[in-house]
Structure 1
Amino acid sequence: MDFDDLIKTRRSVRKYRPDPVPEDMVESCLEAARTAPSACNSQPWFFHVCRSDKVRRAVASAMNSGMYGQGMNRFIDQAPVIIAVETLKRAKLAPWLAGLIRNVRYEMMDVAIATDHLTLKAAELGLGTCWIGWFNERAVKSALGLERSAHLDVMITLGWPDDRTRAKSRKEPDQVRRYL
């Protein structure tokens, strides 16, 4: 599939078939993320891949616990894979200092780029993904046995889509750009 088709195909999937995702496909997605660019080559990411039923169910339950369980992300436990994306703080001094000066979280930008690479690779392979930013971070860290100081900015569901493809609704080009 060419790039234009790929970016038009990639969408948020909220209904998954129960079929497992082969390990080589998961690895292919992780490799796409690993090779993403980052500020000063800091690579401030770590991917916690939840595939076993026990861990996946515990993480899904943790994600939706407390005030986060009001129905928005009930589909999470259907996904055969959940990936917790950890943002590593101060992976390199230069982007961290530059971020302080400019009040920009470069490590978060880098994680977003890497995660987008992962989702695009998944789409190329026929897999579906959904970025999830609304989740109980403290409970997920506990379920994964992570330090309290760990930082999880995003969770990704991954699996075989089991829903209809919907047309993307986007603003018109003149609403999102201007030439000077």
Structure 2
Amino acid sequence: MDFDEVVLGRRSIRGYKPDPVPQPLIEEILTIAMRAASSMNSQPWNFYVVTGEPLDRIRRGNTERMLAGVPQSREFRIGNAFENQHRDRQVGVAKQLFAAMGIARDDKEKRQDWVMRGFRQFDAPVCIIVTYDRALDGSDDAPFDCGAVANALVNAAWSRGLGTVINSQGIMQSPVVREHAGIAADQVIMKSIALGWPDEDFAANAVVSERRPVQEAAVFVGF
């Protein structure tokens, strides 16, 4: 695929085949992703790539703690709940996903199961946890740069037939993630990225989220 095909064709994948992903392929994807721009070439990112039993322990710990009502302990600040047009977009994609999956508004059981999928890393065979150096904590550049490398990562994966979804649910219980992924104390947990081979029979995988037109998002000056 050329660049435009990758960017325009990529979509978030929330249903995966159980097939393993070879480590050399993940290393290849990370090599491409790490060409992302960063502030003054600081390259603040690190990656903990988790699969197998350690990932299963993270899934169990996340879901058990969330169902038990343990408060979330996400390390990177969440900020305020979305409002206005941002909330509208959040609700809009949720409606698309629920419609694809046949989840009715009043079906609490299925809606709860959908939420739990996020805490299970969407049952993907691989989870990539993106962290940044704690020495940079408080800098706006470090999370900005991590966003850039995450975007490059998901596109590199897509170009090789792999699906991803960037999510926060999988890192909401940070003590669990730290323990089973062996994350160093000098790292701040930023995001998690589920990765694997897309299950084409999973209905939500066909959902393409809407994007604003350029005319709405961009202001051109001096043209």
Common fold, TM-score beyond 0.5? yes
**Distance across 1 between alignment mates of 2:126 and 2:186:** 24
Tell me which residue corresponds to 1:45: 45
**Distance across 2 between alignment mates of 1:41 and 1:167:** 33
Q: Describe the superposition over 1:28-73 as per-residue Cα deviations: whole angstroms up to 9, x where unpaired.
A: 111112222211111111110112x211111223444325695361
Q: Describe the superposition over 1:132-178 as per-residue Cα deviations: whole angstroms up to 9, x where unpaired.
A: 12322232112223345531110011000113422331122222112
- Asked if 1:114 corresponds to 2:149, the answer is yes
How far has the Cα of 1:78 moved from its partner?
1.8
Tell me which residue corresponds to 2:161: 126
How far has the Cα of 1:106 moved from its partner?
0.4
Greater CA radius of gyration, 1 or 2? Answer: 2
**Distance across 2 between alignment mates of 1:86 and 1:174:** 35
State the number of aligned residues: 169
- Asked if 1:81 corresponds to 2:126, the answer is yes
Q: RMSD across aligned C-alpha pairs, in angstroms?
A: 2.3
Taking a change above 3 Å as real, the CA distance of residues 154 and 56 of structure 1, as seen in their structure-2 partners, is: same
**Distance across 1 between alignment mates of 2:117 and 2:215:** 32
How far has the Cα of 1:2 moved from its partner?
1.5
Report percent identity of matched pairs: 28
Give the counterpart letter for 2:6 in structure 1: L
Q: Describe the superposition over 1:82-103 as per-residue Cα deviations: whole angstroms up to 9, x where unpaired.
A: 1111111336xxxx8xxx7xxx
TM-score normalised by the chain length of structure 2: 0.67
Tell me which residue corresponds to 1:145: 182
Q: Which has the higher contact order (CA 8 A, sep 6+)?
A: 2
How far has the Cα of 1:8 moved from its partner?
1.3
Alignment of structure 1 residues 156-167 onto 2, 5 Å: 156-162=193-199, 163=202, 164-167=205-208
Tell me which residue corresponds to 2:89: none
Tell me which residue corresponds to 2:217: 176
Q: Name whichever of 68-77 and 81-90 sits farther off.
A: 68-77
Unmatched tracts of structure 1, length 5 or more? none
Taking a change above 3 Å as real, the CA distance of residues 74 and 45 of structure 1, as seen in their structure-2 partners, is: closer
**Distance across 1 between alignment mates of 2:179 and 2:47:** 16
